[in-house]
Chain A
Amino acid sequence: MTERRPAAAPNGKRATTAPVVPAARGQAPADEGLRFTTLPPKELKELNAKLGWSLNDVELEAIRAHFKKAGREPSRGEVETIAQTWSEHCKHKTFNGPVRYSDGKKSRVFRSLFAETIVKATKELSSPWCLSVFKDNAGIVQFGKGGRWALAVKVETHNHPCAVEPYGGAETGIGGVIRDVLGAGLGAKPVLNTDTFCLARPDYSGELPEGALHPVRTLRGVVAGVRDYGNRMGIPTAGGGLWFDDDYRLNPLVFCGTVGILPTWAVRKEVKPGDLIVAVGGPTGRDGLHGATFSSTTMDGETDRAAVQIGHPLNEKRVLDALMVARDRRLYRGVTDCGAGGFSSAIGELARDCGARVELEKAPLKCSDLEPWEIWLSEAQERMVLAVPPKSYPELERLFHAEGTGCSVLGEFTKTGRLVVTHKGARVADLDMGFLHDGMPRVERRAVWTEGSKPKRGPCGARGGPAVRGRLGSILTRMLAHLNVCSREWVIRQYDHEVQAGTVIKPLQGQRHDGPGDACVIWPVAATGDWEDRSGFAVGHGLNPSYGRVDPYWMALCCADEALRNLLCAGADISKASFLDNFCWASPEVPEQLGGLVRAALGCHDAAKGYGIPFISGKDSLYNQSRDEKGRELAIPGTLLITAVAPVPDITHSLTMDFKGPGNSLFLVGVTKDETGGSLLSQMEGCSGEVPKPDPKAAARSFKAVAEAISKKLVLSAHDLSDGGLGVALSEMAFSGEFGASIELDQILTSPAMLSDETILFSESPSRILLEVSPKDDLAVMRALKGVPARRIGSTTANPLIKVSGLDGSVVLETLLVELKAAWQKTLPELLK
């Protein structure tokens, strides 16, 4: 599928004046009777709706003007190709388009939202480890010693199909992102999959509209889909997350990510006129037509169901195996995957700067009754397109056939700057590349952000006295049992996270291999074959839509902060980290929604600049809203998933989060503030507060100091403080390691100086990390943390309980680890049996 890229402004002019070749004489169009240029606007709109193009009025007019000038009618194949190419899915027109934003006080006009926020930050940083950003199917960064290897990283969303058919949707989602990595550079070998789901609570008991699936079914389906595809392809699934919020009930979110490894020489691809267009992989059928245009509309009961497919992991594995051999024999020059839009977008993209001639009758088909335009646009899975020099083709064909997968020549790349598609001599499409890629009219959207009105709820942690203190233990237990905190073992155990034998730090950690790890660390030795090089990489995530309900700007910073801390706690070198952004939002045509999206994008920009970490790839999925059971539009909460990848220079230095022994010192890095807005505490207790506000510059200094302590092997375990704050993080470390802990709240650095016990324990102030340090290293750690807000707050104990002394010196919380762990573990199994 297409990587989002900044709109190419210089070419835009060429597009509008591009000559259009009149219909070739003596050659009938493949299908007649669209009468596109003469239809009255109303009927044209009806046709647009009926055929599922999802083009807006301005775009319809632009196409009409283009063909009027050409003096001919477009064929159906041409309109379909344009509709696919101009879809939200392929062109990301909101993100790349102009936006007029105002937040009450200031207003600002973005010529391209994406280029002026995320891309701008990346360009300004110009980090030397980035080899390819925002250009290819995936972001590519350096990896390992000696500059021989690179990592290709991509995270995709596959939301709409998963709402309709969770199993097939998740399968094709993970299959699609694996192919993105296979089509990055000259092809990377996938070594890790990740999956993150945002769903409604599995025990949701309210009404659902006709055709909507119950969240428990969606959960089972998407987990099974990722499991079956990843396991069957032999790729470990070792990272990800789950988030529950009932507003996802009609639009579940499914994020699938893949990391692949490729040699540095294979990062660049090119296409030369005269190269053959070769389709490899499965045959083409009538699967999933209109998947791309499908993502430009809101979902309702009548949504086109043909967009759903089932994945075929074994076919994709064959393609993978053959492709890797072909790459190393340098049999092809360019490759891309067939995602949304099928051949039309894959070939259209490869031929962007030259041109192509395609003969569709040469494509192998599943069934013989396909219309030519259907072959051109089918989204049958497990197919890729290669640019092959003619002399290499015979060897390539032998190779793919030996693997038992299809390989056929569809045509060749030309230097005409035109995309010419024929079927048995009849024209299906003859389009100018300039018009196709840059002729899209840009519609300015309006975005408004208004500071949320102050909620009427009381502030968190304001109450004091013995009554509240007695309840801290019960709050902690309920927090651990909360759906957004509880053990994800039910999901993780379904995935093979060990295959390829490189998972150094596993998703489940601790004495009994069931504690919640921060990030996984992968040593891709099976792919590199280099046993001397101990370089690995870590992948972590940050996601918290409930902060976004307060302010998406701070959500973006918090997500970036959390993703980085996750990597840091696994022992990664975050000074060379990279970010990926995945936005899922409701309709951008609603100014308030788009306002939130702009806030989040600005947050990403400031996070990248503040932490000094570039974004290398990303994806957005908009229009995530549907009509609910009462006929009202239900929008998802604006959601941003930040995925961070960083090298682990020596995998033997990586860390887990469980306590390693009794009597060790506990250091808390970072300042605890009165930041409970959007926190777990505020959701559970019905109170409110300030949303957590990271200070990236200060945080980056702390992280650097912690990284130094870790690299000197001074730290035994580390865990980041996120949902549920200190209370939850401390409990997780303790019950995973099966050692207790005793801490004193009056030792904790707070701001302002006076906070209540409850706030200190459960505030979700960002940039905080809890470290376990052997007492003999206390001084060395303090030296390493010099100039950084950090304090020794207590120690681990052999006694298996959590003991917290309050500000007045009395014990305010004393709970057995077994109780905490039982609460944390029982939630999902009880709901899913």
Chain B
Amino acid sequence: MSLIATGTTNLIEVRLRPDFADAAGQAALAQLQHAGFPAARSVRMSTVYEICGTLNQSHLQQAARELLSDGVTHEFKVLNTPPVLDGMNHWRVEVWLKPTVTDPTGESVRRAIAELGLPEPERVRCGTAYRILGKTTRNVLERVVRRTFANPVIHTFTVTEAYD
């Protein structure tokens, strides 16, 4: 596996369907409220897989459906465009491991995709997205995320104002 990827990169986002309670999201909400963002109202989490390789759309759909999600509780989408920007106190925070840090989940997914009989990706990285509802400013949110979800030693993160 080389660091310089030659294939195309796609994102698969997997999350709980809206009618299921998101316990991890609730725990994350409590952390945000503790760490200086008391106005946070809800957090829902999703897992994002960045898959780089020669997989086509139907391969990605199959991997997402059969490997990365649970048909009953989860929904997923395959993205190749960034999410639509649309304020309204909705925020999206994505936390990724730095490229120099080993990503065990990504590594396992890479092997598992190959074991499904699909083309083995060159690289898979796994990140976490937090969809946060609450009135704040970007600076405050960035500071709070540094205190809670992301450790600058091993993580990079992005904060975008976004509606889903």
CA A167 to CA B155, docked complex, whole Å: 12
| Chain B, interface residues (CB within 8 Å), range | 20 to 34
Q: Does A434 make an interface contact (CB < 8 A)? A: no
Q: Does A310 make an interface contact (CB < 8 A)? A: yes
Binds A, one of B50-58, B96-104, B127-135: B96-104
A213:B151 contact, CB within 8 angstroms: yes
CA A305 to CA B151, docked complex, whole Å: 12
CA A312 to CA B34, docked complex, whole Å: 30
Contacts of A305 in B (CB 8 A): 153
Contacts A/B (CB < 8 Å), 8 sampled = A165-B154, A220-B31, A285-B102, A287-B102, A309-B101, A310-B97, A367-B2, A368-B2
Q: A165-B153, A168-B154 are in contact. Are A217 and B148 (CB under 8 A)?
A: yes
Contacts of A287 in B (CB 8 A): 101-102
Contacts of A313 in B (CB 8 A): 104
Contacts of B72 in A (CB 8 A): none
CA A164 to CA B152, docked complex, whole Å: 10
Given contacts A214-B147, A310-B103, A311-B104, 10 further A-B contacts (CB under 8 A): A167-B151, A217-B148, A287-B101, A308-B154, A310-B104, A312-B102, A366-B102, A367-B3, A380-B102, A404-B111
Q: Does A509 make an interface contact (CB < 8 A)? A: no
Contacts of B31 in A (CB 8 A): 220
Q: Does B107 make an interface contact (CB < 8 A)? A: yes
CB within 8 Å of B: which A587-627 residues: none
Q: Which B residues contact A (CB, under 8 angstroms)?
A: 1-3, 27, 30-31, 34, 97, 100-104, 107-108, 111, 147-148, 151, 153-154
Contact of B100 among A168, A220, A286 (CB under 8 A): A286
Contacts of A833 in B (CB 8 A): 27, 30, 34
Contact of B104 among A165, A217, A286, A315 (CB under 8 A): A315
Contacts of A220 in B (CB 8 A): 31
Contacts of B1 in A (CB 8 A): 366-367
Which 7 pairs show the lowest CB-CB distances between chains A and B?
A312-B104, A833-B30, A165-B153, A310-B102, A305-B153, A165-B151, A165-B154
B100:A164 contact, CB within 8 angstroms: no
Contacts of B108 in A (CB 8 A): 314
Q: Does A216 make an interface contact (CB < 8 A)? A: yes
B34:A216 contact, CB within 8 angstroms: yes
CA A366 to CA B100, docked complex, whole Å: 10
Which residue of chain B has the shortest Cβ distance to A213 in the bound complex? Answer: B151
Q: A217-B147, A368-B2 are in contact. Are A164 and B153 (CB under 8 A)?
A: yes
CB distance from B99 to the nearest CB of A (A): 10
CA A311 to CA B103, docked complex, whole Å: 9
CA A366 to CA B101, docked complex, whole Å: 11
Contacts of B27 in A (CB 8 A): 833
CB distance from B109 to the nearest CB of A (A): 11
CA A200 to CA B105, docked complex, whole Å: 31
Contacts of B97 in A (CB 8 A): 310
Which residue of chain A has the shortest Cβ distance to B1 in the bound complex? Answer: A366
Contacts of B147 in A (CB 8 A): 214, 217
| Chain A, interface residues (CB within 8 Å), range | 20 to 34
Contact of A314 among B100, B102, B103, B104 (CB under 8 A): B104
Contact of B153 among A286, A308, A314 (CB under 8 A): A308
Contacts of A216 in B (CB 8 A): 34
CB distance from B154 to the nearest CB of A (A): 5
CA A286 to CA B102, docked complex, whole Å: 10
Contacts of A164 in B (CB 8 A): 153
CA A314 to CA B104, docked complex, whole Å: 8
Contacts of A312 in B (CB 8 A): 102, 104, 107
CB distance from B115 to the nearest CB of A (A): 9
Which residue of chain A has the shortest Cβ distance to B3 in the bound complex? Answer: A367
Which residue of chain B has the shortest Cβ distance to A380 in the bound complex? Answer: B102
Which residue of chain B has the shortest Cβ distance to A310 in the bound complex? Answer: B102
Contact with B along A629-661 (1 / 0, CB 8 A): 000000000000000000000000000000000
CB within 8 Å of B: which A680-729 residues: none
CB distance from B104 to the nearest CB of A (A): 4
CA A315 to CA B110, docked complex, whole Å: 14
CB within 8 Å of B: which A734-766 residues: none
CA A315 to CA B111, docked complex, whole Å: 12
CA A571 to CA B22, docked complex, whole Å: 42
Contacts of A217 in B (CB 8 A): 147-148
CA A328 to CA B147, docked complex, whole Å: 48
Contacts of A380 in B (CB 8 A): 102
CA A309 to CA B102, docked complex, whole Å: 7
CA A366 to CA B153, docked complex, whole Å: 20
CB distance from A322 to the nearest CB of B (A): 16
CA A315 to CA B103, docked complex, whole Å: 12
CB distance from A478 to the nearest CB of B (A): 24
Contacts of B30 in A (CB 8 A): 833
Contacts of B101 in A (CB 8 A): 168, 287, 308-310
Contacts of A165 in B (CB 8 A): 151, 153-154
Q: A217-B147, A366-B1, A367-B2 are in contact. Are A310 and B34 (CB under 8 A)?
A: no
A310:B100 contact, CB within 8 angstroms: no
Which residue of chain A has the shortest Cβ distance to B100 in the bound complex? Answer: A286
CA A29 to CA B26, docked complex, whole Å: 58
CB distance from A803 to the nearest CB of B (A): 39
Contact with B along A275-317 (1 / 0, CB 8 A): 0000000000111000000000000000001001111111100
Contact with B along A207-226 (1 / 0, CB 8 A): 00000011011001000000
- Residue picked from B2, B102, B103, B107, most chain A C-beta under 10 Å: B102
CA A445 to CA B157, docked complex, whole Å: 46
CB within 8 Å of B: which A217-259 residues: 217, 220
CB distance from B110 to the nearest CB of A (A): 12
Contacts of A286 in B (CB 8 A): 100
Which residue of chain A has the shortest Cβ distance to B151 in the bound complex? Answer: A165
Which residue of chain A has the shortest Cβ distance to B155 in the bound complex? Answer: A165
CA A380 to CA B31, docked complex, whole Å: 31
CB distance from A40 to the nearest CB of B (A): 35
Which residue of chain B has the shortest Cβ distance to A368 in the bound complex? Answer: B2
CA A314 to CA B109, docked complex, whole Å: 12
CB distance from B28 to the nearest CB of A (A): 11
A310:B3 contact, CB within 8 angstroms: no
CA A247 to CA B2, docked complex, whole Å: 44
Contacts of A213 in B (CB 8 A): 151
CB within 8 Å of B: which A333-382 residues: 366-368, 380-381
CA A214 to CA B151, docked complex, whole Å: 12
CA A281 to CA B159, docked complex, whole Å: 37
CB distance from B36 to the nearest CB of A (A): 11
Contacts of B107 in A (CB 8 A): 312
CB distance from A223 to the nearest CB of B (A): 12
Q: A285-B102, A367-B2 are in contact. Are A310 and B154 (CB under 8 A)?
A: yes
CA A367 to CA B100, docked complex, whole Å: 10
CA A305 to CA B100, docked complex, whole Å: 12
CB distance from A743 to the nearest CB of B (A): 41
Which residue of chain B has the shortest Cβ distance to A164 in the bound complex? Answer: B153
CA A168 to CA B102, docked complex, whole Å: 10
Contacts of B104 in A (CB 8 A): 310-315
CA A833 to CA B23, docked complex, whole Å: 12
CA A414 to CA B97, docked complex, whole Å: 42
- Residue picked from B101, B103, B148, most chain A C-beta under 10 Å: B101
